[in-house]
Structure 1
Amino acid sequence: MGEAFFGASVLVSVSLFLFFVKVVPRCLAARVGSAVRCEERKEHDDRAWKQLRAEGWISNLTLCFLMLSLLSAFGQWPLLLPIQTRTLWKVPLIYVADSGRSAMSLGLQYLLNRNWFKMTSEDLGLIRRRRDKWTEGVETEILTRRYGYSVKIMDAVNRRVGHLVHYGIHVLIFAYSATAHALLQTFFYLAVFRFVSHVLLEQDDCMGVVEYSGARMRDGRFGRFNLLVVSVWGGFGKAMVVMLLILKGYDREDNFHLFQAYAILALQGVIWGDTAGEVIGSFFGKLEFDVGGFGETNKKTLEGTSAVWLATAISSWWVLQVWQAGDAAFQGGMWLAICCTSTVATIMEIAAPRGTDNFFIVTGCIACLFFFI
């Protein structure tokens, strides 16, 4: 039965990956030359914008359909209904805490950009507000010329601090939840809740400024939409991890500590691997290569990719020490499991289109762990 569940999880990951390799837009790869007239460029940008949004929504809705199908196929709907009273107050509370993280990120952005980099209030408002009227590459190029290398620092600090706090909150949820049933309800309905809030606030310049405070400056016009895709895929990725571990049989009271350890281990590629990859790649990366994705800056570096593997391996080892789940918890040894999951996280981080990698990293890592547990 365990092998069947493993096969199903691998099939899900591979099928999704192959599907979105086909549908992820390549519109950003084509650039309009400097000789093209302004009207033609605007028309090109509008087509690219509409195409990317359409295909992004295809990806979001397909993922939702997949989650609902898997819940039905594996008979886990009874775990989601009826909604527990604890879940009803826990999900909004977590959302409020996460919104506090977004507000903190917004304050950090203000202090960093205005006081340290001396960004004008007009430019700060430009990057905070909705960007659907931006011309592809133009505003981003202007900001880069105006503030130079500081743009990379602004993006890295603003995004990564918020990212670490966000996932820190979710690690605490895994660590202090009493049952797998409660975890599944919490992460599933939290993903739905955040999906709805991101959609409602994407075009808003009041609360949307807080909700989208982590939008990458160098993603230009696509900054908010990229974050919406990240939120949907990342949110359901955690629910998928819980669902697969329940199917594997780690929801019993006698082995729930292993459930927590494996779930948090699967997140390390996103928490520390992704963080190290962006920081090292942004500041020290020289060997660049193109990737698909929802944004203007769809590039990764060999240096950043190496940092993903190393940071994932170190943080995974630390998690297993804290949960006292060493060699005895793995067939073939702890370090072999760590090396394999770190490799899977690195491959998924490279291969998955930007915006979807948080889902593929965690599901790929948990599928890989099934070889060893």
Structure 2
Amino acid sequence: MERIRVGVLGLGRSGYGIHCKAFEKLQQTYELVAVADINGVRAAETGRELGVTAVTSVEELVAIPEIELIVVSSYNRDHARNAVTALEAGKHVVCEKPFGLSVVEVDSMIVVAKAAGKLVVPFQNRRYEDSYVKVKEIISSGVLGKIVHIRIAQHGFGRRWDWQTLSEFGGGQLHNNGPHILDQALGLYETVGVDNVESLEIWSDMRQTLASGDTADHVRATLRHPEAFTLDIEFAATCPYPQDKWLVMGTSGGLKGTSNKLEWKWVDWRTHVARPVECASTPDRSYNHENLEWQSASYECEEGFERLQGAFYSDLWHSIRQGAPLTVTPASVRKRIRLLERIRE
């Protein structure tokens, strides 16, 4: 298997902790050649640790001729600019989330990639998340009936004071963690045939609470489609009692769970007697009541490297080396960035 030679731009939590560490485990298909960071000390330390070339700018990184793929994991505000620089230098690009801060930025990357004959790939690895894939499967099966409401939550309680809390760097919860949940939210809508972001009604509430910067660390958005379900997205930095990530309500049952375990139950209405409206007084002045025959199931989710970074980079290898269609396409994530724009507006 011919290895893809890689350079990583930005050596923070994502660049170093996710991507560089991924390539250490993917040495049959990828070879890390060089790293870059504007923090020269960090770049040099990482270069020595990993035994690769270390530089301090995107221009130096893309000038290394043997590199075929650049992973852009710089400040959010610089993702599109750095991706375009790499594409114009003839490199394939993996761009960390957010895949641009606007549709205009996304379109600029797509145009340059097409002109260069190279791939620009959004790093939406949470599209491979086991719990999300299973939730989609259960919804598509119809066992829960017509889906009425979904909530996807990321709750916690704590302060944050790094660059990702500052608007000048493109920070804030909507940009930092939002792209993963927005990707999953639109994926769930797509299972029921809704793929036009403009057809969604949107209400949002964004507040700066505990974070030291000037961006929102509390984000709530409600998406509604008149012919589908309503979906709530919640990011909270002020929730000391976190609730499950997943909550799904349908006309035959529902689902709840975390990234580690899902549970769902349902009734088969065909086994229950019909209940037409009765206007006569109830004998004991009680509310209507019936004994439901519930069925239930659960699923233990598989998390970890193989399902997330491993699966993403395996698919990308096949796309670069064998011409396989991209699993995560720029066009699909463009819709997610448009949703991000609409929530922000």
Q: TM-score range by the shorter chain?
A: under 0.3
Of Structure 1 and Structure 2, the greater helix share is in: 1
TM-score (norm 1): 0.23
The structure showing larger relative contact order (alpha-carbon pairs under 8 Å, at least 6 residues apart) is 1
TM-score (norm 2): 0.24
Q: Which of these two proteins has the greater Rg computed from alpha carbons?
A: 2
